[in-house]
């Protein structure tokens, strides 16, 4: 599942293939930008921002406005890089973007979002995001401040809100709460050491950013054994043996009169009621 560490690796892959190279062909298969042509422009940077990916190009030989191609992987998206002319490993109908240089092709399959904006206007797409856990400008104090703005919000919802800190998806959300022994519905204000939650988030994403297979159990693990609770509903807790419970968060979890801070992620939660007692 693409989360901040996946996007970080995707950016590194694209950077190696595209940075400093002139695009000889582009094919953008989203209706709003299908007629755009980036050929002749040089790729100046490939930047991950939370779960978002930014590919910047210059103005080309005609000195046009520098542009940014913004993509989001959502659930199924993935960028591949191939030698020019090589056969793709996924069917062509899944391709949403093709960027070609003299020696390589970068193909974005099943991308959930694809936008093209002036580089100067990038903030219109990603300016709402909180501090990036894998970014060079990571700001722990700002992340804590944003989390604390809605003290009655369930911590499971607050961690998934990319406006608080960018890069955490459902896998990390579940694993972080288990490792900190926090029940998902604990209000943010009731978390005894919110700083420790943020610090663990930062450590886990950094530990996995260069791994081909994500693991939260203390190092590389065999497939099926790399997580504590994620995806393990009704299986025994690896720590205490109690059955792992599955639940979801909805608006009813907000306290009466609480101003809604934004859409909650209606995604599954997995937790151990014995290791993560209810507040």
Catalytic residue among 15, 267, 273, 274: 267
- Hey, CA dihedral for 120, 124, 125, 131, is it positive or negative? positive
> Phi and psi of 118, rounded to 5°?
-60, 135
Q: Quick check: is 3 catalytic? A: yes
Whether 133 contacts 168, CB under 8 Å: yes
Catalytic residue among 9, 41, 49, 51: 51
Calpha distance 32→88 (Å, rounded): 25
Residue 72's nearest CA partner among 52, 91, 101, 92 is: 52
Residue 102's nearest CA partner among 86, 83, 119, 121 is: 83
Q: Quick check: is 267 catalytic? A: yes
Angle formed by the axes of helices 4-18 and 194-208, to 10°?
40
Q: Quick check: is 41 catalytic? A: no
Catalytic residue among 3, 122, 175, 253: 3
Catalytic residue among 2, 48, 131, 187: 2
Residue recorded with tokens 């913004």 = 70
Q: Quick check: is 253 catalytic? A: no
Residues forming the active site: 2-3, 51, 267
């Amino acid at each position: 599942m693409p989360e901040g560490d996946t996007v970080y690796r995707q950016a590194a892959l694209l950077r190696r293939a595209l940075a400093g190279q002139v695009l000889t062909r582009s094919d953008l298969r989203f209706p709003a930008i299908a007629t755009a042509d980036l050929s002749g422009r040089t790729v100046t940077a490939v930047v991950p921002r939370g779960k978002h990916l930014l590919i910047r190009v210059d103005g080309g030989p005609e000195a046009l406005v520098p542009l940014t191609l913004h993509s989001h992987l959502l659930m199924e998206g993935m960028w591949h890089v191939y030698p020019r002319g090589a056969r793709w490993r996924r069917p062509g109908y899944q391709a949403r973007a093709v960027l070609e240089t003299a020696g390589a092709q970068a193909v974005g399959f099943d991308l959930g979002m694809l936008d093209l904006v002036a580089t100067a206007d990038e903030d219109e797409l990603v300016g709402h995001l909180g501090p990036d856990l894998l970014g060079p400008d990571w700001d722990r104090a700002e992340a804590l401040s944003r989390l604390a703005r809605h003290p009655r919000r369930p911590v499971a919802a607050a961690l998934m809100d990319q406006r608080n800190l960018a890069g955490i998806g459902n896998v990390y959300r579940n694993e972080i709460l288990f490792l900190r022994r926090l029940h998902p519905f604990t209000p943010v204000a009731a978390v005894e050491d919110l700083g420790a939650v943020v610090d663990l988030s930062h450590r886990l994403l950094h530990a996995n950013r260069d791994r081909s297979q994500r693991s939260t159990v203390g190092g590389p693990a065999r497939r099926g054994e790399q997580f504590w609770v994620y995806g393990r509903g009704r299986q025994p807790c690896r720590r205490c043996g109690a059955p792992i419970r599955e639940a979801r968060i909805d608006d009813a979890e907000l306290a009466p009169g609480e101003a809604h801070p934004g859409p909650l992620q209606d995604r599954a939660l997995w937790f151990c009621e014995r290791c993560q007692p209810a507040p």
